[in-house]
Amino acid sequence: SDHINLTGFSPLTGADAPAPLHGRFVDLTDAYSSRLRTIAKSVDPTLREGVYMGFHGPHFETPAEIRAARVWGADLVGMSTVMETIAARHMGLEVLALSLATNLAAGISGEKLSGDEVLAIGKASATRVGGLLADILKKIDLEKN
């Protein structure tokens, strides 16, 4: 439903984009469309909403960063989503973000984090996530017509 940008970057840095883009300062009040979130939850009521904290990467977060993320109200952390959302909102697009939690964050399980494990879980979830996306897109298309 929202994000915290700790990447230290913005995709809007640099020369201002020409029209028809929506200016340098983009309102992110409703960055993740409440309309699209409602549609997604109607397709799969088990989907949960939360606050995503974006880190720069490409490395896993430290246990201290995860503790700080909790204090700041983050429910999930990762290295994607935030830049894409800001850029999409800058273009006037409506955004729905779905995140697949592929591992427990550093310091939660006591286990070492593994990029191979993250990729394996992503691959194992591909059919379910692909089906979910297809169903959401169908519902959006039906709503338009």
Handedness of CA 99, 104, 105, 111 (dihedral sign): negative
Handedness of CA 95, 54, 57, 110 (dihedral sign): negative
Q: ∠ CA 99-87-33 to the nearest 5 degrees?
A: 55
Q: One of 49, 61, 84, 143 is an active-site residue; which one?
A: 61
Q: Which two tokens stand for residue 74?
A: 């983050």
Catalytic site includes residue 84: no
Catalytic positions, written as ranges: 61
